[in-house]
Amino acid sequence: MSHFYNDIGARIVGTGSFLPEKVLTNHDLPGLEKSNGAVERLLGAVERRAAAEKETCSDMIVVAANRILEDAGMTALDVDRIIVSATPGDYVEPSTASVVQHKLGAKCPSVDIGMSCVGWLAGLDYALRCIATGEHRILVLAGTIVSRGTPFFNPMHRAIFGDGAAGVLIEKSDRHNFLSGAMWTDGQYHEMITMPNHISVPTENIPEEYHGSFHMGDGRVIQKALRDNLPLGVEGVLADAGLTRDDIDVCFIHQPSMPLYKVAVKAVGVAEEKLVEDYAQYGNTISAELPISLDENVKSGRVKRGDTILKVTYGAGFSGGIMLYKF
């Protein structure tokens, strides 16, 4: 399941993110006002951001995209393709990417990509393949709004998530900064984590009280999938690049909740001082999490040009992705 990228000349030339101003603490969430620390103790969440009343997912993504373009010293007309991972997007159809393209004033093909928490990394993989076939500059964006509507039957499930958007601009280059990666899907577990839309048909494996709502199945099955897939994936990616864990400068591992994150950290096996942890502050922003963390750590100076970065993510599907690159 490993991919070689070292024959694709490309590098990240800009990062950017957007987090809504509104902060929700655990006591602000319906049904958890009197949780007495249970959310923080069980999930690790302290607060998360929530979009403004009329703020759309595309609105947040466009703010992040404009910050990326400013960081790169470019305009939307310089972009050859826009790739968007939105969870959920503005509509079932059309694609959120088409809305983002319009609001940015871009003139390029624009496409949505799914894959839940893996969506942004899948977008990077797709973008690299587009660069390999002749395109020059690609925006890879992600955003999520979970604070609107009533998609959660279980208040503790609502406490997991936060809103936000981020992304990068990657550019064709003489530098071969993307080294290797891996992606996988094990569809037998597709009912393990589900968020239905209005035409979804509930199956017998989803309890009746969760019909029409977010549902998460047996956490032990998810943990086993992480233990089975992440070590092999990381070993393969490092071997493809001719590197070891000691060569990694900064490691970003998806943080869906502290219990799952701890399982993933153990499976990945990277030293604790190399890890980025921000779940307590923002919650799980789904596919936007990795680019939000990247941008913040670039701006803070923790991630510097030339650093070797490992990114690991996983989520509904059941899917996962790993990428190794030089920033």
Euclidean distance between CA atoms 219 and 310, whole angstroms: 25
Q: Which of 75, 82, 91 is nearest to 61 (CA)?
A: 82
Euclidean distance between CA atoms 130 and 172, whole angstroms: 10
Q: Is 215 a catalytic residue?
A: no
Burial of 278 (C-beta count, 10 Å sphere; 0-12/13-18/19+): middle
Q: Is 108 a catalytic residue?
A: no
Q: Is 284 a catalytic residue?
A: yes
Q: Of the listed 117, 130, 157, 177, which one is catalytic?
A: 117
Strand segments (E) across the chain:
2-4, 10-18, 22-25, 47-50, 81-87, 110-112, 137-144, 164-172, 178-185, 193-194, 215-216, 250-253, 308-315, 319-326
Q: Of the listed 26, 177, 229, 284, which one is catalytic?
A: 284
Contact (CB, 8 A) for 166 and 18: yes
Catalytic residues: 117, 254, 284
